Chain A
Amino acid sequence: EVKLVESGGGLVQPGRSLKLSCAASGFSFSDYWMGWVRQAPGKGLEWIGEINQDSSSIIYTPSLKDKFTISRDNAQNTLYLQMSKLGSEDTAIYYCARAILWVFSFDYWGQGIMVTVSS
């Protein structure tokens, strides 16, 4: 069974940094592109970015490219999202997701982790 479990969320002060993790199991993690999507309270989905199998290609939505960094550790079957200079606009549920090979839609999603940016 494919499972994606996010962790590392919570309350963070404006201007600080936070690193989310996504533990993957039930599939060969190193064979798939992986991505992050977020959803602000009561809002729609926002694509953050994706990383390829060996981390040689990482793509971001332009507005977040200077703030967020996606990485992965295939030995640990874990995906990461490093977030810096956080503001209230970054308050959201953050989802990690697996991308279908060659199609790049997300076929499996984690349950999401809440990040609240507030003083």
Chain B
Amino acid sequence: DTVLTQSPALAVSPGERVTISCRASESVSTGMHWYQQKPGQQPKLLIYGASNLESGVPARFSGSGSGTDFTLTIDPVEADDTATYFCQQSWNDPYTFGAGTKLELK
């Protein structure tokens, strides 16, 4: 299975730029997606295909990468962005999620 590795947590101040990384154990081409999940809610798709912004998602969110290294960038970060962010790959069967990065605002 393709293992996706994410940093467990980050803390940033509002207005700053934050990058959340996801590293795959093998190439997933551009089959990488990013989700935001707030407590008690279902996940929300932010980025699909590594760099495509989902409709309705603010342009403060962007994604980049291909192969094994991917990044979700939020610039600038707002207080409402406090959440856990998950990456998911859909290139290799079985599809897998990363363990999530919890973003906290200082």
Contacts and interface: CB of A to CB of B under 8 A. Distances in A.
Interface of A: 37, 44-47, 49-50, 59-62, 95, 100, 103-107, 109-112
A45 B89 CA distance: 12
Given A105-B88, A106-B35, 17 more contacts: A37-B97, A44-B98, A45-B97, A46-B97, A47-B97, A59-B94, A61-B1, A95-B42, A103-B31, A103-B33, A104-B95, A105-B33, A106-B88, A107-B48, A109-B43, A109-B44, A112-B42
A38 to B, nearest CB: 11
Nearest to B98: A44
Interface of B: 1, 31, 33, 35, 37, 42-45, 48-49, 54, 86, 88, 90, 93-100
Contact of B93 (A37, A59, A95): A59
The interface centre, meaning the residue of A49, A50, A104, A112 with most chain B CB atoms within 10 A of its CB, is: A104
A115 to B, nearest CB: 15
Contacts, number: 63
A23 B34 CA distance: 25
B45 A105 contact: yes
B100 A44 contact: yes
Contact of B43 (A50, A62, A104, A106): A106
Given A47-B94, A61-B94, A107 B31 contact: no
B54 A104 contact: no
A45 B1 contact: no
